[in-house]
Amino acid sequence: MSAIKVEIRQLPHGEGLALPAYQSAHAAGLDLLAAVPEDTPMLLAPGKYALVPTALTIALPPGFEAQIRPRSGLAARHGITVLNSPGTIDADYRGEIGVLLINHGDASFSIRRGERIAQMVIAAVVMAELVPAAALSTTDRGTGGFGSTGR
């Protein structure tokens, strides 16, 4: 596995929280922690969503992005997932990383300080050069859309 250097800064409201970390030798994502106040957990009611702070800012090198993805355990046990999954952090963004969580479960969910709420995957970006064309090449699929390959 190769690694790139990503500068990270923890904001004051994240003091005492661990930095993101891989939880196994071959994990693709770094776990992100909730930076909510210790004495004020964030309550996420069924069907509601909220932007959860992480108290982190990063400086990605050009040609990379960070994807914010759900944690499978939260989704399976509580119906909690990332609303705009995957969220994208561009290489030129320097603001706080926020995680937009939604509760698809049937019970309220309390987000406590330091809870692992999402994972961040660093990925290479390939820029496309769009080329105007009068017509596109034909394929067996053609214009078949949603579910058309399963027929």
pLDDT at 143: 84
Report how far residue 121's alpha carbon sits from residue 80's, in angstroms, rounded to the nearest whole number. 18
Tokens of residue 54, six digits: 């992480």
Can you list the domains of the chain with their CATH numbers?
9-125 (2.70.40.10)
Tokens of residue 49, six digits: 């969503």
Res. 150 pLDDT band, cuts 50 70 90: low
Q: Report yes or no: 94 and 117 within 8 Å, Cβ to Cβ.
A: no
CA-based max dimension of the chain: 61
Residue 134 has pLDDT above 90, yes or no: yes
pLDDT at 142: 84
The neighbouring-strand residues paired with 53 are: 98
pTM for the full predicted model = 0.89
Q: Report yes or no: 36 and 110 within 8 Å, Cβ to Cβ.
A: no
The per-residue pLDDT for range 35-91, each reduced to its tens digit, is 999 999 999 999 999 999 999 999 999 999 999 999 999 999 999 999 999 999 999
Residue 22 has pLDDT above 70, yes or no: yes
